[in-house]
């Protein structure tokens, strides 16, 4: 399959199914989801809470494995790799903005943003991380721990960390969910700037219909199934 992939297709899911056990029996979170995203696309995934959106993002990033199906990123099959292999590809190719931020509590804002650069062996990690924090309006909060930041500020640190490596694919789970309107607009402009100017492929889960409308494609998740609106 690798040789047959469209060279412009940067992210592909094939027949993704995710099942978990529950007291009532086997529960299907994702049901035979297939998706193809080309380089430079912007895709919004919308749908009700509990429909499987966040689970899909986690599988696309290689943070979890499906019960069945395949995920391909930049020509490599994530689902055929062990955790170390998936972590390598994530570090090189993927930026991920979690709804719950996932900041390291003992690291200050600057150290959190520097981390993926240091893992990649970059000598200019500090300089790049400071620039990324400045881009989200947090230059003056670089030495603050997550516990000393508001929820909106923590979200902006998470965004800076996600785009500091200039990833091939940026996956965002409700990227403006905890931000005030003004800050949210600034963050969104940054995301679409990356998408349009740097060619970063953007896949985001959002409840914001106006935000979804700005994407080139919109797909709806319902009861674990994905259907494209446009």
Nearest Cα to 112, choosing from 79, 143, 83?
A: 143
Question: What are the tens digits of pLDDT across the range 98-133?
Answer: 777 789 999 999 999 999 999 888 899 999 999 999
Question: What pLDDT is recorded for position 156?
Answer: 85
Q: Please report which helix (H) or strand (E) contains residue 63, including its range.
A: none
Question: What are the tens digits of pLDDT across the range 66-98?
Answer: 999 999 998 999 999 999 999 888 888 898 887
Question: What pLDDT is recorded for position 2?
Answer: 44
Question: What pLDDT is recorded for position 1?
Answer: 41
Residue 10: Cβ within 10 Å count: 24
What domains does the chain contain, in order, with CATH numbers? 2-228 (3.40.50.300)
Distances (CA, A) of 159 to 78, 128, 166, 176: 23, 14, 12, 10
Q: Tell me the CA end-to-end span of the chain in Å, nearest whole number.
A: 26
Which residues are bridge partners to 37 per DSSP? 11
Percent above pLDDT 70 for the chain: 96
Question: What are the tens digits of pLDDT across the range 18-43?
Answer: 999 988 899 999 999 999 999 999 99
Contacts of 213 (CB under 8 A, 6+ apart): none
The token pair at 130 is 């400071």
Alpha carbon distance 97, 161 (integer Å): 8
The pTM for the full model equals 0.84
Residue-averaged pLDDT of the chain: 89
């Amino acid at each position: 399959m690798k040789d047959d992939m469209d060279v412009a297709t940067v992210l592909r899911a094939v027949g993704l199914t995710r099942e978990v056990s529950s007291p009532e029996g086997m529960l299907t979170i994702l049901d035979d989801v297939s998706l193809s995203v080309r380089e430079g696309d912007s895709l919004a995934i919308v749908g009700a809470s509990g429909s499987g959106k966040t689970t899909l993002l986690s599988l696309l990033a290689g943070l979890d494995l499906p019960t069945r199906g395949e995920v391909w990123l930049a020509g490599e099959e994530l689902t055929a790799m062990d955790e170390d292999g998936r972590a390598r590809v994530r570090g090189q190719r993927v930026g991920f903005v979690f709804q719950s931020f996932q900041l390291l509590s003992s690291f200050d804002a600057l150290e959190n943003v520097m981390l993926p650069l240091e893992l990649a062996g970059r000598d200019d990690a500090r300089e790049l991380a400071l620039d990324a924090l400045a881009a989200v309006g947090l230059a003056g909060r670089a030495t603050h721990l997550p516990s000393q930041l508001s929820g909106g500020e923590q979200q902006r640190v998470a965004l800076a960390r996600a785009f500091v490596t200039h990833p091939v694919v940026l996956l965002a789970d409700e990227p403006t969910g905890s931000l005030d309107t003004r800050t949210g607009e600034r963050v969104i402009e940054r995301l679409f700037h990356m998408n349009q100017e740097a060619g970063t492929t953007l896949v985001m889960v959002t409840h914001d219909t106006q935000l979804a409308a700005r994407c080139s494609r919109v797909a709806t998740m319902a009861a674990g199934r994905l259907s494209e609106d446009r």
